[in-house]
Structure 1
Amino acid sequence: MRISISDYTVGAGVAGDLVNTSPTVRSTMGEALPDPEALAGFLAERDLRLDALADRPPTEDDLREVHLFRREVRGVLETATEEHAVAGGTVLAMRAGLSPVLQREPDGRWQWYVPTARGASLADELAALVGIGLLGVVRALGHERFRPCDAPGCRGVFVDTSRPGRRRYCGDLCGNRLNVANHRARRRLGSVAP
């Protein structure tokens, strides 16, 4: 797998999405990755082509390792300081990431990539992708972009890679749920007015 250093938003997005599949976050819905097929779907939805899965689908062992890795990612996203975030991101990146290489793109431009180690596990390749993404966010946008969801009762976390940096929710579900609740509250207030 080749991980683009300049496109850190991919790894950062995978970090938040993966953490938010946990039953800890999804208490009413349960585990979003209950089996290898769900893990395959998660990867496919994000167009992730991992070398570890070049000739096979995810296994129960892969799923178990990804569930454990998910906890590590949450730990990095909840760090209190930039230094801790960088240390955590570096540890993740080093699980399968090799030295950066400069490669020419089809359009002739040079691009930095981090290749992953041959034979790396699915979880280790994800770790390299996520680690490089989180390091890129700290460098380009700052550690304050690692955030908890603002929705009441949600335990989700995310990395805000949006240009304005004003994202408040871990996903569309929380944002939509809160917007609907606010709309209904406004309508109730409007119907009570004299």
Structure 2
Amino acid sequence: MDIPIDDYVAGAAVATDLVTTSPTVRESTGEALPTPEALAAFLAAHDLRPAAALPPTSENVFQVQLLRREVRGIMETETADQAVAGGRVLLRRAGLAPVLRRAAEGKWQWHVPTAPGASLADELAAFISLGLLGVVRTLGHERFRACAAPGCRGVFADTSRAGRRRYCMPELCGNRLNVAKHRARRQAGSVIA
């Protein structure tokens, strides 16, 4: 895998989405990466193509589930120094020295290649680490947050321009909260009438 350094947002999005696949976050639906097919769909949804280009195996699923715990740990660190230290550990799993390459449009771009023969989880770790390190460098450690939805145990990296994201999965957690507020307003209105 060849990871562009300047696109930390993609790595941070994968980190957030990986953490939200956990049964810790998805208590009602359970594990979102239970099979090699689910892992393949996750990678495809993020347009990630590991260097080996082989279909994921059960061992890959297990290793990515372990990686998910490490990523969550980095997002829950108390300080930027702790987050950076965790990001470095992930990057060292497969990341090699940065290289400068000319992109298709002729512009020079920094990339971090991954080690030949690196496992799928190690390549994913390197990709995610660059995203998380980019968040700390560009936006600050305070952009790692816990989900604001009551009862949700999700965490996320807020890469939004305004920095006002509140939910790990806005389409699920945010919508669930909005529906609950709407029902409460309707119920309060019918009690008064």
TM-score category (smaller protein): over 0.9
Q: What residue is the counterpart of 1:48 in the other structure?
A: 48
Residue 22 of structure 1 pairs with residue 15 of structure 2:
no
Listed one character per residue, the Cα deviations across residues 108-136 of structure 1 (whole Å, up to 9, x for unaligned) are 11111111111000000000001111000
1:48 deviates by 0.6
Q: What residue is the counterpart of 1:145 in the other structure?
A: 143
Aligned to 2:133, the other structure's residue is in SS state: helix
Listed one character per residue, the Cα deviations across residues 45-100 of structure 1 (whole Å, up to 9, x for unaligned) are 11111113x1x200011111111111111110100000000000111111101111
Instruction: Choose the corresponding residue for 1:97, options 95, 98, 107.
Output: 95
Listed one character per residue, the Cα deviations across residues 116-157 of structure 1 (whole Å, up to 9, x for unaligned) are 111000000000001111000000000000011010110111
Q: Normalising by structure 1, what TM-score? A: 0.96
Q: What residue is the counterpart of 1:84 in the other structure?
A: 82
Give the aligned CA root-mean-square deviation in angstroms.
1.0
Point out where structure 2 has 5 or more consecutive residues left out of the alignment: none
Q: Distance in 1 between matches of 2:137 and 2:183?
A: 41
2:106 is aligned with what amino acid? Answer: G
- Structure 1 runs of 4+ aligned residues shifted over 4 Å read none
Q: Distance in 1 between matches of 2:141 and 2:174?
A: 22
Aligned to 1:18, the other structure's residue is in SS state: helix
Q: What residue is the counterpart of 2:172 in the other structure?
A: 173
Indicate the larger mover: 182-191 or 74-83: 182-191
Q: Distance in 2 between matches of 1:161 and 1:111?
A: 21
2:43 is aligned with what amino acid? Answer: L
1:10 is aligned with what amino acid? Answer: A
1:22 deviates by 0.8
Residue correspondences, number: 192
Instruction: Choose the corresponding residue for 1:158, options 141, 144, 156.
Output: 156
Q: Distance in 1 between matches of 2:165 and 2:192?
A: 33
1:174 is aligned with what amino acid? Answer: C
Aligned to 1:51, the other structure's residue is in SS state: coil
2:187 is aligned with what amino acid? Answer: R
Q: What residue is the counterpart of 1:184 in the other structure?
A: 183
Residue 11 of structure 1 pairs with residue 6 of structure 2:
no
